[in-house]
Amino acid sequence: METIAYNLPQSHIPLAWYNIVPDLPSPPAPPLHPGTLQPLTPGDLAPLFPMALIAQEASQEREIEIPGEVRQIYAQWRPSPLMRARRLEKALDTPARIYYKYEGASPAGSHKLNTAVAQAWYNKQEGVTHLSTETGAGQWGSALSMACAFLGLQCKVFMVRVSYDQKPYRRALMEAFGASVTASPSPLTDAGRGILAEHPDSKGSLGIAISEAVEVAAKDPNTKYALGSVLNHVLLHQTVIGLEAIEQMAMAGDDPDVVIGCTGGGSNFAGLALPYLGRKLKGKSHARVVAVEPNACPSLTKGRFTYDFGDTVHLTPLVKMHTLGSTFVPPGFHAGGLRYHGMAPLVSHVINLGLAEAVTAQQLDAFAAGVQFARAEGIIPAPESNHAVSEAIRQALEAKAEGKSRTILFNLSGHGHFDMQSYIDYHAGKLQNYDYPEEEIAMALAGLPVVG
Ligand SMILES: *Cc1c(COP(=O)(O)O)cnc(C)c1O
């Protein structure tokens, strides 16, 4: 029989997360205090994050031990499946071998639970009782709500207005886990009130929701803030994906020629790719590493690599990243998790160093790929993950055209069971492609902060 699943026992959950920073040829630029423009000190972040996560944010250690209780919770869905997409290969009639790491097998339905559990755990250790956060598509809010329920914390979620209205089931899921969910912009914060005064019908954005969640944490000593992507410690927690995949690909007796992930803030891509890049830097892997972003929100391919704010109202530190400008509000395409103006500084840095490359996908191509994948493999991908699927299929067809084999590994970051409305719209012909929103981005870039 042909093998399709490369499953590892629970004992193979990694013991440590992998931090690529000490292995890089040059270090990433430090985050800056928005007032003084000096590098941040740990104390600057203390109102928002527990000290253990602040230490991870700036860590030079290659390996950071995963706490036993976090590994125990991981054991419910990790090691996650690594599958060979044999029926998809046959459907494409390609000589390429296609593998995917399936993070939708987590109870929250995406990779985000990997960091949600870790973040909730470290907050709990330091006596924090409440976490505030934002959510776009709802996956991060679901994951953090679940993690807070596991660890006995209260969770307050600011949900981007357009998703709040479009995705009542995501909201219901978070509320079932005990979280309180507010549509953003909201009248609960200065940031939200300010936006509503100017734009009473605002559909919201991740940048606005981040401002609200940060403000709540900054004003309440019992509340800390949790971010679902972008930051170094978030990417670090996601490296369990790549560490497991390396072992599973060895079980398959195969080695990827290309490693692919979709990028919103960069965490699922980094989770799979950074452990491979670490091997590549040691000469143990030859894989090309490819990030796939939506054409309508192309921070890596069209953004500027410079210091910018992480949020719309400018409460966060300045980080050096590929950005479209913090006031850019992307068009309403159906991959909410990819509608962010910036990119993880660490992902931006490895792209800038030439260690990884970035490509874009159009919405209709992404959905066509997702449907083709679903028919072959039986899993409905999240609209975000469809971007990675489309690049994997494109690569498999390119290999076919060249008449050569190619080993493709991509991250299937989540399932789309709460996103079926987008598939309904796709099949009804209601989805469209979006051009690169050149003018809006030029305007947002004109407002970039000036850093000497
Ligand atoms: C949030 C999300 C993304 C985008 O976020 P990254 O930090 O870039 O991974 C992609 N896929 C899924 C399923 C998500 O939930």
**pLDDT tens figures, 276-285:** 999 999 999 9
Q: What angle do CA 354, 357, 362 make, to 5 degrees?
A: 155
The yes-or-no verdict on residue 452 having pLDDT over 80 is no
Residue pair 230/267 in contact (Cβ under 8 Å)? The answer is yes
Mutate to test the pocket of ligand 1, among 139, 159, 167, 263 (most ligand atoms within 8 A of CB): 139
Residue pair 307/451 in contact (Cβ under 8 Å)? The answer is yes
Report the nearest-CA residue for atom 3 of ligand 1: 337
Mutate to test the pocket of ligand 1, among 290, 333, 348, 413 (most ligand atoms within 8 A of CB): 413
Q: How far apart, in whole angstroms, are the C-alpha atoms of residue 270 and residue 229?
A: 10
Nearest Cα to 256, choosing from 28, 16, 6? 6
Collapsing DSSP to helix, strand or coil, 135 comes out as: strand
Give pLDDT tens digits for 329-338: 888 788 878 8
For residue 190, count other CB atoms closer than 10 A to its CB. 13
Q: Give the per-residue pLDDT at 334.
A: 83
Q: Which residues contact 135 (CB under 8 A, 6 or more apart)?
A: 141, 142, 144, 157, 158, 159, 160, 163, 170, 174, 209, 228
Nearest Cα to 122, choosing from 167, 73, 185, 80? 73
Q: Give the per-residue pLDDT at 276.
A: 98
Q: What angle do CA 339, 392, 418 make, to 5 degrees?
A: 45
Q: Give the per-residue pLDDT at 91.
A: 98
Which atom of ligand 1 lies at the shortest distance from residue 230's CA? 7
Report the nearest-CA residue for atom 15 of ligand 1: 139
Ligand 1 neighbourhood includes 337 CB (under 6 angstroms):
yes
Which atom of ligand 1 lies at the shortest distance from residue 385's CA? 11
Least confident among 89-98, 244-253, 328-337, 358-367? 328-337
Domain covering 4-12+67-109+233-445, topology:
Rossmann fold (3.40.50)
Collapsing DSSP to helix, strand or coil, 160 comes out as: strand
Q: Give the per-residue pLDDT at 330.
A: 85
Q: What angle do CA 271, 62, 98 make, to 5 degrees?
A: 30
Task: Using the Cα atoms of residue 25, residue 29, residue 30 and residue 31 in order, give the sign of their dihedral.
Answer: negative
Domain boundaries along the sequence of the chain: 4-12+67-109+233-445
Q: Which amino acid is at 343?
A: M
Q: How far apart, in whole angstroms, are the C-alpha atoms of residue 145 and residue 138?
A: 10
Ligand 1 neighbourhood includes 310 CB (under 6 angstroms):
no
Collapsing DSSP to helix, strand or coil, 244 comes out as: helix
The yes-or-no verdict on residue 451 having pLDDT over 90 is no
Surface-to-core class of residue 426, CB atoms within 10 Å of its CB (0-12 exposed, 13-18 middle, 19+ buried): buried
Identify the bridge partners of residue 358 per DSSP, sorted by sequence position: 291
Q: Give the per-residue pLDDT at 337.
A: 82
Ligand 1 neighbourhood includes 103 CB (under 6 angstroms):
no
Q: How far apart, in whole angstroms, are the C-alpha atoms of residue 340 and residue 336?
A: 8
What band does 437 get if pLDDT is binned at 50, 70 and 90?
confident
Q: How far apart, in whole angstroms, are the C-alpha atoms of residue 415 and residue 80?
A: 13
Residue pair 396/96 in contact (Cβ under 8 Å)? The answer is yes
For 48, the token pair is 């928002």
What band does 166 get if pLDDT is binned at 50, 70 and 90?
confident
Q: How far apart, in whole angstroms, are the C-alpha atoms of residue 399 and residue 390?
A: 14
Q: Average per-residue pLDDT in the chain? A: 96
Give pLDDT tens digits for 201-227: 998 988 899 999 999 999 999 999 999
Q: How far apart, in whole angstroms, are the C-alpha atoms of residue 304 and residue 400?
A: 35
Q: How far apart, in whole angstroms, are the C-alpha atoms of residue 47 and residue 267?
A: 23
Report the nearest-CA residue for atom 13 of ligand 1: 414
Residue pair 436/296 in contact (Cβ under 8 Å)? The answer is yes
Ligand 1 neighbourhood includes 204 CB (under 6 angstroms):
no
Q: Give the per-residue pLDDT at 207.
A: 85
Q: Give the per-residue pLDDT at 105.
A: 97
Which atom of ligand 1 lies at the shortest distance from residue 238's CA? 9
Report the nearest-CA residue for atom 1 of ligand 1: 337
* Beta strands at 288-294 and 258-262: parallel, antiparallel or unpaired: parallel
